[in-house]
Amino acid sequence: MSQKCEFKNNNEDIIIVNVVYLSSEVLPFAKSGGLADISSVIPKNLNKLGVNIIVIMPFYTIVKECNCPIEKTDITYRVIIGDEVKTCCVYRSFLPGTDVPVYLLHNEQYFGRNGLYNYPGTMRNYEDNCERFVFFSKTAIELIPRLKLHPDIIHCNDWQTGLVPVYLKTLYKNNEYLKKTRMVMTIHNLAYQGLFSPDCMKYAGLDWNLFHWNYLEFYGMLNFLKAGIVFSDIITTVSETYAEEIQTPEYGEGLDGVLRTRAKDIYGILNGIDYSLWNPENDAFIAANYTEENLTGKQVCKKALQRKLELPEKDVSVIAMITRLTDQKGLDLVMKIFKNLLKFDIQFVLLGTGEIVYQDFFKHYAKIVPEKVSSNISFNEPLAHQIEAGADIFLMPSRYEPCGLNQLYSLKYGTVPIVRHTGGLADTIFDIRHEKIHKEKANGFSFKEYNADLLYATIIRAFDFYKNRSEWTKLMRNGMKQNWPWEKSAKKYISLYESITKN
């Protein structure tokens, strides 16, 4: 069983904690998925609550496109990667609207390219990802003494930072600046583990004794995430349900056994939403602003979306998906029912990037039924907002979903979610039909078993419900009233930080 964390209610209780937050993507500098949103908003909210925090991330070429003021510092140093010496130049910016510094670590060979992990527009990983993130991990640690920081906590995120806890407990265990530092590892998605051939040990520069199934080895491969799980003091993940699920063979991605050995140190803390970015009341990307009391703007947004995507401006239900096109997201179920779905008078809008098989599927339908299907294969932040505002129904039939952000954005935008009851979707979407759910709490539709017929039946149930517009509007309003503020999650992180720094 994973642990529940208590959190304190007022700032006076909070001891000042010094935190170094490591992430391979941070909004607005670089984003491939929800990790970027979270890595921006957690530090921002921790800082608001009095935590001293800095963020460290790689300086990819694409960072230059964010139009953020970035300055070169005078910090430059070298680290050994394999048999070679590599140089790291440190740049600095701030999380917008805050004084939280973001240190960007630059090395042209490793990060002088636009993709974060893959060749842009493909699912093909860069061949040197092992070296790239060994470099990031080592240079991030090396920056700390150069900034003269004595962090209480280094907070790592996902496999890209998985070796950091290992370094802290081995190569850097006697470092003056890091002696008292505790490690938190957050798993945003257990399916991505950073698996590399044993040759990568040479780049990692770690003792071969660690290449053992008790530590870094995983079926003959070097596993960065496993390293993080084994060597961190605390492991968190992004919803309470996912924290339980990952300790089972069904959801454990081969690491459930390792996770069970750490069960007493695993905590689920649900992500929140940055309502300064995602709120129809003041969203600058959408055609008209609206509130829960006055929904007229939503109709304007729906028409604007239809116009923009060249769909007929009709009063039919618009179903949307904004997603990475991967197996995780339940797209095989959608493919199975798609033909039948299109027999209804509806419109379907997709925004996504990812696997070709899914791209081709939706492109094909957009070509043969253009009056019903709009397929947008790109990463487009403004369009994501416009779809959230203009759609009626948001589909997330995920095979697994650590937390999920889009169902929460959808709630705020009055776009009713249909989800599979798993991970963070189970913790946030409450089916109208569930008798134990108060009518005011109900905010969407869900189904449990991973099955196309069940998805189809749930969509039909939603279509039936949609016919009664006043009931539908109540459901929309329920969702719009519910909030998942980051402050609540940030307080839980603080409470965890305190619990491990006190020991």
Q: Which is nearer to ligand ADP, 37 or 431 (CB)?
A: 37
**Peptide linkage before 58 cis (omega within 30 of 0):** no
Per CB under 6 A, 33 contacts ligand ADP: yes
Closest approach, Cβ 308 to ligand ADP, in A, equals 14
**Which residues, numbered 316-375, are part of the site for ligand ADP (CB under 6 A)?**
322-324, 351-353
For position 380 contacting ligand ADP by CB under 6 A, the verdict is yes
Regarding 65 and contact with ligand ADP (CB under 6 A), the answer is no
Angle CA(350)–CA(28)–CA(328) in degrees, nearest 5? 40
34 touches ligand ADP (CB under 6 A) = yes
Least Å distance, CB 323 to ligand ADP, is: 6
Amino acid of residue 126: Y
Closest distance between ligand ADP and the C-beta of residue 405, in Å? 4
First to last CA, the chain: 22
Task: Name residue 185's beta-bridge partners.
Answer: 156, 235
Does residue 28 bind ligand ADP (CB under 6 A)?
no
Nearer CB in complex with ligand ADP: 216/325: 325
Q: Which stretch binds ligand ADP (CB under 6 A): 65-73, 198-206, 288-296, 403-411?
A: 403-411
Residue number, 160 or 323, with CB nearest to ligand ADP: 323
Q: How far apart are CA 455 and CA 421, in angstroms?
A: 11
Q: Does 48 bind ligand ADP (CB under 6 A)?
A: no
Residue 451 corresponds to which tokens in the numbers above? 């099955």
Altogether, the residues listed in the chain come to a count of 503
**The tokens of 22 are what?**
């490591």
Q: Nearest distance from residue 66's CB to ligand ADP, in Å?
A: 15
Rounded CA gap, 25 and 273, in Å? Answer: 17
Q: Between 323 and 375, name the residue whose CB sits nearer to ligand ADP.
A: 323
167 alpha-carbon distance from chain centroid: 25
Nearest approach in angstroms of CB 144 to ligand ADP is 28
Classify the C-alpha dihedral 48-49-50-56 as positive or negative: negative
Burial status of residue 208 (CB atoms within 10 A of its CB: 0-12, 13-18, 19 or more):
exposed
Could you tell me which residues come within 8 angstroms of residue 435 by beta carbon, excluding any fewer than 6 positions away? Answer: none
Q: Is 73 in the site for ligand ADP (CB under 6 A)?
A: no
**CA–CA distance, 475 with 424 (Å, rounded to integer):** 20
User: Which positions from 242 to 261 touch ligand ADP by CB under 6 A, shown as an x/- string?
Assistant: --------------------
Q: Which stretch binds ligand ADP (CB under 6 A): 173-181, 376-384, 448-456, 470-478?
A: 376-384
Running DSSP on this structure, what letter comes out for residue 73?
E
Describe the strand order of the beta sheet including 153-157 as a list of residue ranges: 71-81, 84-94, 101-106, 52-58, 18-22, 153-157, 182-187, 234-237, 266-268
Site for ligand ADP in 483-502 (CB under 6 A): none
Which residue carries 């001891």 as its tokens?
Answer: 15
Least Å from the CB of residue 222 to ligand ADP: 24
Interface with ligand ADP (CB under 6 A), residue total 17
Judged by CB under 6 A, which of 318, 405, 426, 490 binds ligand ADP? 405
Using the rule CB under 6 A, which residue among 404, 414, 417, 423 binds ligand ADP?
404
Contact between residue 322 and residue 387 where contact means Cβ atoms under 8 Å apart: yes
Between 234 and 351, CB nearer to ligand ADP: 351
Selected from 40, 93, 406, 428, the binder of ligand ADP by CB under 6 A is 406
Binding range to ligand ADP, per CB under 6 A, among 71-79, 94-102, 397-405, 444-452:
397-405
Comparing every residue's Cβ against ligand ADP, the nearest one is 34
Map the footprint of ligand ADP across residues 284-323, applying CB under 6 A: 322-323
Structure letter (DSSP) for residue 347: E
Residue 206 or residue 322: which is nearer to ligand ADP going by CB? 322
Whether the CB-CB separation of 25 and 55 falls below 8 Å is answered with: no
Between 153 and 318, name the residue whose CB sits nearer to ligand ADP: 318
Please tell me the distance from the alpha carbon of residue 90 to that of residue 140, in angstroms, as a whole number.
10
Task: Report d(CA 411, CA 428) in Å as an integer.
Answer: 10
Q: Does 379 bind ligand ADP (CB under 6 A)?
A: yes
How far is Cα 259 from Cα 93, in angstroms, rounded to an integer? 36
Closer CB to ligand ADP, residue 172 or residue 486? 486
446 contacts 404 by C-beta, under 8 angstroms: no
- 339 burial type by CB count under 10 A (0-12 exposed, 13-18 middle, 19+ buried): exposed
Q: To the nearest whole angstrom, how small is the minimum distance from the Cβ of residue 121 to ligand ADP?
A: 12
Give yes or no for residue 475 binding ligand ADP (CB under 6 A): no
Q: Closer to ligand ADP by CB, 137 or 376: give it.
A: 376
- Tell which residue, 453, 444, 438, 446, has the closest CA to residue 420: 446
The residues binding ligand ADP (CB under 6 A) are 33-34, 37, 322-324, 351-353, 379-381, 384, 403-406
